[in-house]
Amino acid sequence: MNVSITFRHMDPTDSIKAYATDKLSRVQKFLRQPMTVRVTLSLDKLEHSVEVQVQSGGQWYEAKEVSGDTYASIDAVVDKLERQIRHAKGVESSRRRKEPDLRHARTDEALPMVVGEN
pLDDT tens per residue, range 43-90? 999 999 999 999 998 899 999 999 999 999 999 999 999 999 888 877
CATH number, domain with residue 7: 3.30.160.100
Q: How many domains does the chain divide into?
A: 1
Q: Is residue 40 part of a domain?
A: yes
Q: What is the pTM of this model?
A: 0.75
The CA distance from 6 to 42, in Å, is 8
Q: Is residue 73 part of a domain?
A: yes
Q: Is residue 45 part of a domain?
A: yes
The CA distance from 108 to 33, in Å, is 39
Q: Is residue 90 part of a domain?
A: yes
Domain of residue 60 covers 2-95
